[in-house]
Structure 1
Amino acid sequence: MLAVNYSTIRNHLKDYCDQATDNHETVIVTRKGEKNVVIMSLERYNQLEKAARNAEYLAMIDRGIAQLSAGMGKEHELLEVDE
């Protein structure tokens, strides 16, 4: 992980973008007022987004299991499908 101030990034943006994409580096751009940003490859971003979606889905399944364990489930008849 690299931390670089705004002025340096502005003067060397291509180099830091290459670091992010070619070397899988995460670049933190420090700015005044603690309004920092992060530069990372799209591949890494997509991995993080997928992991977040998976975690949300697993949490939803865990909540459902907990509800069933607490007796909050309902039993239904299965529907017959005509072929």
Structure 2
Amino acid sequence: MDVLSYTDARASLKDVMDRVINDHVEVIVTRKKREAVVVISLDEYNAIQETLHLQNSPANARRLQAAIAQLTAGAGVERDPPA
């Protein structure tokens, strides 16, 4: 995760945004005497929102955790997407 001052981020905003999208990194922007912010891509934000939505239901959270455990244990099955 990269950390930039507000001044540096502002001076190179296009490069910061390109790096966030192309390199899939988060950038922390610090501000004097104020709370810092994090810059993430829209895809990353949407993925976080989807995960939060899925985790909102206890039943969904249990199913998701079980599926992750199966994949981690090597019990996953590769499939080709339908044509």
Which protein has the bigger strand share? 2
- The ranges of structure 1 where at least 4 consecutive aligned residues each deviate by more than 3 angstroms after the TM superposition are 59-62
Cα distance 1:34–1:59, how it changes in 2: closer, same or farther (>3 A)?
farther
Q: After the TM superposition, which residues 5-20 of structure 1 pair with which residues of structure 2 at under 5 Å, given as runs?
A: 5-20=5-20
**Size of the alignment, in residue pairs?**
62
Q: Which moved more, 1:26-35 or 1:13-22?
A: 26-35
Task: Point out where structure 2 has 5 or more consecutive residues left out of the alignment.
Answer: 63-83
TM-score normalised to structure 1 length: 0.67
Name the structure 1 match of 2:53.
Answer: 53
Cα distance 1:58–1:2, how it changes in 2: closer, same or farther (>3 A)?
same
Give distance in 2, aligned partners of 1:25 and 1:60: 28
Q: Which whole-Å deviations, capped at 9, do the CAs of 1:46-71 have from their partners, x for residues lacking one? A: 00111111111226888xxxxxxxxx
Return the index of the structure with the highest Cα Rg: 1
The alignment-based identity, stated in percent, is 34
Q: Which amino acid aligns with 2:50?
A: K
Name the structure 2 match of 1:31.
Answer: 31
Task: Point out where structure 1 has 5 or more consecutive residues left out of the alignment.
Answer: 63-83
Provide the alpha-carbon RMSD of the alignment.
2.0
